[in-house]
Structure 1
Amino acid sequence: MSVRLLSAESTDLFVGSHDEPRQVLRVTVARGERDAPLEVRGDGVRLAGPVSVPADAEGVVEVPLAVSAPPGTTVPCLLTLGEEQLKVVVTAEEPGWTMFMVSHFHYDPVWWNTQAAYTSPWELLSGDATTRPLWERNAFALVEAHIDLALRDPDYRFVLAEVDYLKPFFDTHPERRADLRALMAQGRAELVGGTYNEPNTNLTGAETTIRNIVYGIGYQRDILGGDPRTAWQLDAFGHDPQFPGYLAAAGLTGSAWARGPFHQWGPISKNFKQAKNDAALMQFPSEFEWISPSGQGVLTHYMPAHYSAGWWMDSSPSLEAACEAVYDLYRSLKPVAATKNVLLPVGTDYTPPNKWITDVHRAWASRYVWPQFVCATPRDFLDAVRAERAAFSPQTRDMNPIYTGKDVSYIDTKQAQRAAEVAALDAERLSAFASVLGLGRYPHTALDKVWRQLAYGAHHDAITGSESDQVYIDLLTGWREAHDLAATARDNALDALTGQIALDGHSVVVTNTLPFARDGLVSVPLPEGRTVADLSGAPVPAVTENGTLTFVARDVPSMGWRSYRVVPGSSEPWQPAPPSETPLVTIANDRWQVTADPAQGGALVSIHDRAADREVLTGLGNELRLYDEYPRHPDMGEGPWHLVPSGRVVGSTEGRALGVTSETSPIGRRLTVTGQVGEITYEQTVTLLTGSDRIDFTTRVLDHTGADRLLRVRFPARVEGALPVSDVAGAVVGRGFALPDVDTAEHPWTLDNPANTWFGLSTTARVDLGEAGARALGVAEVVVPSLDDAPQARDLVVALARAGVTATTSSADGTRYGWLDVDSNLPDVRIVVGGPDTNPVAAELLERADDAYLEALKSGAGRVWVPAERALPEVWQPSADLRDLRALPALIVTDVADLVADLSDAVIEAVCPLGKEILEDRTVALLTYGLPGFAVDPSGALHLSLMRSCTGWPSGIWLDPPHRAAPDGSAFQLQHWTHEFSYSLVSGDGDWRALRLPAAAQEHITPL
């Protein structure tokens, strides 16, 4: 018997030469008694030359084919080996593909271990994998290992990234700079990142992100002599929508990262339950133009198999196995590549050079012409991508939410970040004026230290609250130092500037550091028997409390001051209001009337807008809700970076308040509520200042003994048709509804999002349908006819983003956006570019809808609105799947340029021949201070995350003895101490622009 034929597989491998590449057919055989000729017959497929399989052949035989069929064609073929035959389908492939293997290591200067440990000799730690994976090394050893291998092996290329390990290394090893510079000159080493570290830009202000970039580029270029071009943000827990615009403005031309559009692990690896293992579930290629609302963007590579994808070949038992592992990865990544170039990151956390990478580079080249597997840098890859394609799919997609626990874990660090940022910005403004006026030197050194500390704390395992207890304590000193240095610089500049104002020595000077005039509370310690008057001598309403005089300063000029005289007199303290004649307790000013119910935990049963004669609430407001959480996610594991509610929640409204009091004073009215919810005792104040358009709230957690709890405050405030909106660092964008009450064991995605300083129910852009009403737009899928048409949608997605509507650009034959199993967030509208003759999605949509919509297009309407089959709150359910074309409303557009022009006022006019949409032109929002986590559920209820306690690893981890803990012995992650949270409610007619919410939020976080 001749050698036996077992199976055959078509591949995209090529042998031969670049001029005559031959596609490889892999044939599996079993040994026999004699040799046998092999033949292949198919239409456009033949053997490249005679093939004889020897009798002792066993396993896979690679057979070169001459394929003349067009690429992508599937050709049925008959394979004959001796007396045996087998039918096989050969897919005609295209040569010319290259996979760029980028050697790297990801470095966290803080996480479960401390900065000191990550830069110390880890040989002192256990070598049996009980304290770390055996391959992990400290930063100094890693930098040397990668440089040394490159010096030994001319085929090796690698990247270095973050200043938080580069600076300590080269400060202590300055002799290695020459080696690094020589390798960079040869193109075998590249400095990437362009930032100080991998910051979580969605949890910090815009200026912190900008300084992070400035420090990163400055060190990599000006100190080390590199040429950073690519932001290398592998592990960040989502990204601020403005981030790509900042990168472009700083001169960077690319970015690469692994987390954002498709949950934490991407479309290939496991996120929840079973891994999808299918990159084609992405709606856009892995290389795209990532664009900010400013309209600026960078070419970006998203890592579908994550940043550690290529590392695992290190454990392959042989070179052959390593080659096959790399080839499997290539095949999984290839379907979503924008060009014939694929990037494979080879490395993971704290990893030395992969032991097989250069062997694969050489062995593969000796066997195959295409695809090429080469050691490379990101610049090699992105240059090849740009050389092949001039324009890319434009994406303004919101790359959030990722790891929703990050928005609230260790909440005091978020508050500290906000306090330090505000102090730093004030210090810079005031110090600049003082310096120009010759009133002292600008505090360069102090403010430089401030921004370095804030940049360090912005790391994705610092500000996110994912760190261990010891790291938390270490980081707190950085935020404290940043705040105190900034506050000292601010106060010194203020003293110098106000010292130039001609006063009589008995005055108070109130300064405003914002670029617009404003009112605000001012507190001044004054001796008894003194109060304040304006410059005309008229008394200023004020209140005395705990030895401090507090008054409302009016119309303080932009970046200016207003003076008040200190005069003899007295101010009254807060006084109890007359007893209520009903069980409810009410306070009011000219704008608001607020009513609390002591029987329901002191929650607000009414917030009445007296100016509009309208009730804001649809249920009980300012209700504290305490969620039970799993210690770690039952399926995904992992710790404090996840929100993991179990579905069990108790509200403060379920019991009677311990006390509700109403007080009055010359500056306003306030309610004070005390109560208990679960293991938390609390005090809440609601303040109505005279003449103020906002309602100010403070919630104080007085005592807290629980574990694995999440505390939110809730305001049910439905605005018909409105959608969630929030500010980010330098823009305002629409956000999707959240699902805060799910059991995450069954439905893991709560869809909380981070806001910078405010969030609410409003509209970013809207579609005006005339008599058919109006519809708010928040998050869009822009569907173009084909992937090649995607670049032509750039002007449209930029115009949408500038109006606050983020968009995912997809193609008609691709995957639809809107499946929570894969997508990190959900859209609320589709914009279909092209009519039924050019866009198959438009054709299908119109086929399934009433004929009236097609007739409207035929009659000349350039924009036709096709409503969804069901209302948005009905389909926005846990684990939602909104991919069906009728699940969301759609705007069919035949003239893109006209639509772009129409978006200039954030209002789109369209025709809707049937049905009606309802949109109330009104806004309800919460202004926040260091409280980024929010959720607006489909009913319209606003939820603000206040704090949480989590026992999941690395909570409680302390590396260096003696072990430290809170006074009650609990881990610091549990936050068992007093907390105070400030937020304000605003509401009114019109959208967020009409209410000037960005300015209102800046007033809220920036005290006079």
Structure 2
Amino acid sequence: MHDDRVLTEDRIARAVRDRIEPAIHWPTRPLRVGAWEVPDEPVGVAAALGADFHPARLGDRWGRPWGTTWFRFDATVPPDWVGRRVEALVDLGFDLPIPGFQAEGLAFTAAGVPLKGVQPRSIHVPVDAPPGGPVRFLVEAAANPDVAGDWSFRPTGMGEKATAPPGPLYLLRRAELAVWNETVWELAQDVAVADGLMRQLDVRDPRRHDLLRALERMLDRLDPDDVAGTAPDARAQLAAALGRPAHRSAHRIVAVGHAHIDSAWLWPVRETIRKVARTVSNALRLMEHDPRFVFACSQAQHYQWLKDHYPGIDAELRKRVAAGQVVPVGGMWVEPDANLPGGESMVRQLVTGKRFFLAEFGVDPAVGWLPDSFGYSAALPQLLRLAGARWFVTQKLSWNQRNRMPHHTFWWEGLDGSRIFTHFPPVDTYNAELSGAELAHAARTYAEHGRGSMSLVPFGHGDGGGGPTREMLAAAARTADLEGSPRVTLASPEEFFAAAQAEYPDAPVWRGEMYLELHRGSYTSQARTKQGNRRCEHLLREAELWCTTAAVAGRIDYPYDDLDRIWKVVLLNQFHDILAGSSIAWVHREAEQAHERCAAELEEIIAGAQSALLGPGDGEVAFNAAPYPRDGISALGARPRPRAGQNPVVARRDGDGYLLDNGALRVRVDARGLVTSILDVGCGREVVARGGAANRLRLHRDLPNRWDAWDVDEHYRRTAVDLMDTEGIAVVGGGVSVSRSFGDSILTQRLALGTGESARTVEFETVVDWHESEKLLKACFDLDVHAERYAAETQFGHVFRPTHRNTSWDAARFETCGHRWVHVGETGYGIALVNDSTYGHDVSRTSGPGPATTTQVGLSLLRAPLFPDPRADHGRHTFRYALVAGADIADAVRAGYAANLALRTVAGRGAVEPIVRVDHPALVVESVKLAEDRSGDVVVRLYEAVGGRAAGRLAVGTPLAAATQTDLLEREVSPTGLVAADRGGVAVALRPFQILTVRLRLDQGPAVPR
């Protein structure tokens, strides 16, 4: 019996491959082919219509890596094809098992109107010509190389045009005009569903044998010499088996058309623009034939690209949005990395994305949509709710290495206690095909059986694969009510969530971050991209603050358009494969250049606002955009530069080592350049663990199991070399300079002590000319504190993580993400490590002499992965980080801002009063700007930063006419943190980590510039 079953399955597979599928398009006629190779970067269809095409034929090789070839196809529809549906078939040389990551095309009419994409699983092009009539269409063919090398992830030069091999990559395999035999196609879909379901059922299940026997009868009635003629009879043999209804308790699946398209990854941004056009045009074609089909499309940037580059597709898309078939989801500008962007950046992802969808379509997306980001910060629930989202969906945690998420439908609770109803599709993919295996997997693994009964399945080939196909829609129709299968319904994400929440309102709660147990190297890879993002985030903060101050004073016009444009560049480059450092060299080169341009323009904007405020003068004025006073400078304002601060630093040779002393800290550096002692003079406390060191540079072998740029796997810890040899040590400029060389790299560090309010700070500047491969460089600190847990800054707050490895969940967090600081401490004493551009951290407990338990903190500075960019991070880098002794959480917050918002000094006179002030140390002003509606109102965003309740006052420098609490989109909401307002400011009372956005209407709005 078993052998008979296997033989029948083999017979089915061969019949489909060799008989049924070839008969779907038959008869055929060859197309005449012309080709025009674009000399360099892509051009529009208008240029192609006027180009000089040369004759081409099947078997011709085409396409330099990253090049574009336009093909022109001509034919005449045979007169005897009357009443038959005609399609063209174009195979650009596709690798069928992989739907994306290779050549792609977009077909245009002879008049230049986009038709549909041409991809490996969707090679047909509709033909609109009568029998005997002429056919002409063009295909813009992109020779995108397979950078992944069939997922072997070997180092490759394909990531840049300059390093890619010059020869053509692809072979034109097929160019035909054909009759589409709908009945044969329908038979193929019947067989696919029946066979797919049969193979998922247990061998003892009678339903399996029912399907198997029906498939056998189908094969017996199908004449291999007349497939088209016998297809109706063959279909009839399957009708009864495919007509049996599902059990009433069958799992319910809401299938949502989707095409996950990375805004850049193994291709540059310019190629993503074309991928979006190809995929959306495919979806629009499907909607012409199936009104049930709903396509969820995220990333406002993608819609903007269509508007800018493909107005025809954009116009058609807008009609389908209005009809409810195209559904904007996510509400963000792109699908960003959810760990690395700063708090205000995550706000602007939502604000910029949602404002676009509202302005362009009148749609306010209710579903947060981040299926592929590499973990999810605990700040997201509050941010999503404050932006008006009701639900959230993700998928990536199915990739966890060790622990499986215990729920698929749950409430996700964030830092502040905000909860959002969340779904984690048990199909475990965001590129489903609605195959029998996928549907069975979703039903089998769904964690909420007996409580909930439904799950979401996003279906469609992503990343250039073309999105949903007509075959997928056929599968959905056949599994709508089919015995042995989940019941599949085509619907929107909103319809799914409304039903799921109504069914299961008391779903369990998952609190805190959703940590991805994979891709931990993404906190460190491509340091220049991360550093550029961090710098631009803080420059944007400064630019908005000073431009608001100057506009309110009537000195300038607020640069709305410039700031909006710069924000959009920064937001695009926070896409999860750009900021994470997991893209090809081309992408990171462009990201670094974009950050440099943004930074330069922001510096000009800041200087212009400062100059307008201060006027000419020969004095020196210092200013600071940090939310706290620093070194005598009032926060958020400008003052004449103060005299040198207290705590002068002594730096001198001391025996075999060196001594740094500012009266608050006494630091010893030994002959190896290691910090062996940091004495907190005020309390007599030693910071460095006995026998340990601070700022010990450690080089690890870094050989991930698979995903080079993405992963740091735990075995890296077992191979480490401490960098002890020095090229030289000297006292330089009040600090100690240490030079080292190792491998092919050289490194210089400067150690110094802070002064004034920063007197308890040891500052480190590390300059590296890095030329290693498959290595990880860390700066390690052995600290004499007994820390059960540590705090790491995230957006608008911090999370606590254990330093121990009691559970598998704890052990999996061996490398974690922190923003500007991490803090370790015991009762009565703590230490903060702050940085200006570092995200990867490891924190662990160590055992010293005797029973003492101490804490080791490592900052991940640099990696050197070979894929997808074999030269990742090579070159010069500068890192600044600092240790703050005797610090509590509030000190860590303060020092983190100070490290990233340095004091600036400009020529000028007078002083500038802060436009707003707060009077509670836990209240942090994150953003000061003018309102998005250009009314002249001032918008202030602040939050509680230390994890407690904070009541205080937001004082305003200009008389206040009115104050309202808003959501992130600056729409008025019922006050939950704003207590009262008067002419001088606003009384606020915030919960732990609460974010408050206040809109201030001033008596004196922006005036005519002077």
TM-score bracket, normalised by the shorter chain, equals: 0.5 to 0.7
Q: Secondary structure at the match of 1:248?
A: helix
What's the offset of the Cα at 1:584? 2.1
Aligned-partner residue type, residue 669 of structure 2: A
Alpha-carbon separation, structure 2, partners of 1:661 and 1:495: 40
Give 1:590's aligned residue: 663
Give 1:954's aligned residue: 868
Give 1:341's aligned residue: 454
Give 2:347's aligned residue: 210
**Pairing of 1:509-528 with structure 2 (within 5 A):** 509-519=621-631
Equivalent pair of 2:431/2:462 in contact (CA under 8 Å) = no
What's the offset of the Cα at 1:189? 2.6
Question: Aligned in 2, Cα 1:97/1:488: closer, same or farther, shift over 3 Å?
Answer: same
Matched, 1:732 2:798: yes
What's the offset of the Cα at 1:702? 4.2
Aligned-partner residue type, residue 577 of structure 2: D
Counterpart pick for 2:270 among 94, 97, 116: 116
Give 2:384's aligned residue: 247
Equivalent pair of 1:31/1:58 in contact (CA under 8 Å) = no
**Pairing of 1:596-995 with structure 2 (within 5 A):** 596-598=669-671, 601-618=672-689, 619-630=692-703, 633-634=704-705, 637-644=706-713, 646-647=716-717, 649-655=719-725, 657-663=726-732, 669-691=734-756, 692-737=758-803, 751-762=814-825, 920-939=827-846, 940-951=855-866, 953-956=867-870, 971=871, 973=872, 975-988=873-886, 991-993=888-890
Aligned-partner residue type, residue 340 of structure 2: L
Counterpart pick for 1:290 among 412, 419, 424: 412
Alpha-carbon separation, structure 1, partners of 2:355 and 2:560: 16
Alpha-carbon separation, structure 2, partners of 1:368 and 1:922: 65
Equivalent pair of 1:230/1:253 in contact (CA under 8 Å) = yes
Equivalent pair of 2:673/2:738 in contact (CA under 8 Å) = yes
Counterpart pick for 1:98 among 234, 252, 255: 252
Equivalent pair of 1:737/1:751 in contact (CA under 8 Å) = no
Question: Aligned in 2, Cα 1:335/1:680: closer, same or farther, shift over 3 Å?
Answer: same
Equivalent pair of 2:426/2:441 in contact (CA under 8 Å) = no
**Pairing of 1:350-361 with structure 2 (within 5 A):** 350=463, 351=465, 352-361=467-476
What's the offset of the Cα at 1:649? 4.1
Alpha-carbon separation, structure 2, partners of 1:5 and 1:704: 60
Counterpart pick for 2:297 among 160, 166, 171: 160
Equivalent pair of 1:681/1:702 in contact (CA under 8 Å) = yes
Alpha-carbon separation, structure 2, partners of 1:218 and 1:575: 51
1:362-389 CA-partner distances (Å, limit 9, x unpaired): 2223645984211222112101112223
What's the offset of the Cα at 1:738? 8.1
**Pairing of 1:497-536 with structure 2 (within 5 A):** 497-499=613-615, 505-519=617-631
Equivalent pair of 2:395/2:430 in contact (CA under 8 Å) = no
- For normalisation by structure 2, the TM-score amounts to 0.61
Alpha-carbon separation, structure 2, partners of 1:984 and 1:728: 18
Aligned-partner residue type, residue 641 of structure 1: W
Give 1:771's aligned residue: none
Matched, 1:144 2:281: yes
What's the offset of the Cα at 1:934? 0.8
Equivalent pair of 1:652/1:675 in contact (CA under 8 Å) = no
Alpha-carbon separation, structure 2, partners of 1:695 and 1:1000: 9
Structure 2 alignment gaps of length 5 or more: 7-193, 195-204, 214-236, 847-854, 904-1010
Alpha-carbon separation, structure 1, partners of 2:273 and 2:450: 37
Q: Secondary structure at the match of 1:982?
A: strand
1:604-643 CA-partner distances (Å, limit 9, x unpaired): 111111111111111111110011112xx33xx2220111
Q: Secondary structure at the match of 2:781?
A: strand
What's the offset of the Cα at 1:748? 10
Alpha-carbon separation, structure 2, partners of 1:30 and 1:119: 44
Question: Aligned in 2, Cα 1:175/1:955: closer, same or farther, shift over 3 Å?
Answer: closer
What's the offset of the Cα at 1:472? 1.0
- For normalisation by structure 1, the TM-score amounts to 0.61
What's the offset of the Cα at 1:442? 0.7
**Pairing of 1:187-336 with structure 2 (within 5 A):** 187-260=324-397, 265-266=399-400, 271=401, 281-283=404-406, 285-308=407-430, 310-311=432-433, 313=434, 322-323=435-436, 325-333=438-446, 335=448
Matched, 1:430 2:546: yes
Counterpart pick for 2:559 among 439, 443, 449: 443
What's the offset of the Cα at 1:148? 1.4
What's the offset of the Cα at 1:58? 13
Give 2:496's aligned residue: 381
What's the offset of the Cα at 1:677? 3.8
Q: Secondary structure at the match of 2:594?
A: helix
Matched, 1:1006 2:920: no
What's the offset of the Cα at 1:119? 2.8
Alpha-carbon separation, structure 2, partners of 1:927 and 1:1000: 7
- Give me the identity figure in percent: 23
Equivalent pair of 1:29/1:59 in contact (CA under 8 Å) = no
What's the offset of the Cα at 1:698? 2.9
Alpha-carbon separation, structure 1, partners of 2:450 and 2:307: 37
What's the offset of the Cα at 1:323? 4.2
Give 2:207's aligned residue: 26
What's the offset of the Cα at 1:428? 0.4
Alpha-carbon separation, structure 1, partners of 2:392 and 2:260: 15
Aligned-partner residue type, residue 613 of structure 2: L
Matched, 1:172 2:295: no
Q: Secondary structure at the match of 1:465?
A: coil
Give 2:579's aligned residue: 463
Alpha-carbon separation, structure 1, partners of 2:245 and 2:298: 44
What's the offset of the Cα at 1:146? 0.6
Equivalent pair of 2:804/2:811 in contact (CA under 8 Å) = no
Q: Secondary structure at the match of 2:446?
A: helix
Equivalent pair of 1:680/1:704 in contact (CA under 8 Å) = yes
1:480-518 CA-partner distances (Å, limit 9, x unpaired): 122122211111111111118xxxx44211112233321
Aligned-partner residue type, residue 183 of structure 1: R
What's the offset of the Cα at 1:445? 1.7
What's the offset of the Cα at 1:28? 3.8
Equivalent pair of 1:424/1:487 in contact (CA under 8 Å) = no
Alpha-carbon separation, structure 2, partners of 1:58 and 1:1004: 70
Alpha-carbon separation, structure 2, partners of 1:948 and 1:64: 57
Alpha-carbon separation, structure 1, partners of 2:628 and 2:212: 85
What's the offset of the Cα at 1:760? 2.5
Kindly report the root-mean-square deviation, in angstroms, between the aligned alpha carbons of the 2 structures: 3.5
Alpha-carbon separation, structure 1, partners of 2:804 and 2:477: 50
1:531-559 CA-partner distances (Å, limit 9, x unpaired): xxxxxxxxxxxxxxxxxxxxxxxx11122
Equivalent pair of 1:287/1:300 in contact (CA under 8 Å) = yes
Equivalent pair of 1:27/1:62 in contact (CA under 8 Å) = no
Equivalent pair of 2:460/2:468 in contact (CA under 8 Å) = yes
What's the offset of the Cα at 1:929? 0.6
Aligned-partner residue type, residue 923 of structure 1: G
Question: Aligned in 2, Cα 1:329/1:559: closer, same or farther, shift over 3 Å?
Answer: closer
Alpha-carbon separation, structure 1, partners of 2:473 and 2:354: 30
Q: Secondary structure at the match of 1:684?
A: strand
Alpha-carbon separation, structure 2, partners of 1:723 and 1:343: 37
Q: Secondary structure at the match of 2:694?
A: coil
Question: Aligned in 2, Cα 1:699/1:452: closer, same or farther, shift over 3 Å?
Answer: same
What's the offset of the Cα at 1:479? 1.1
**Count of residue pairs the alignment pairs up:** 661
What's the offset of the Cα at 1:399? 1.4
Aligned-partner residue type, residue 300 of structure 1: T
Alpha-carbon separation, structure 2, partners of 1:980 and 1:384: 52
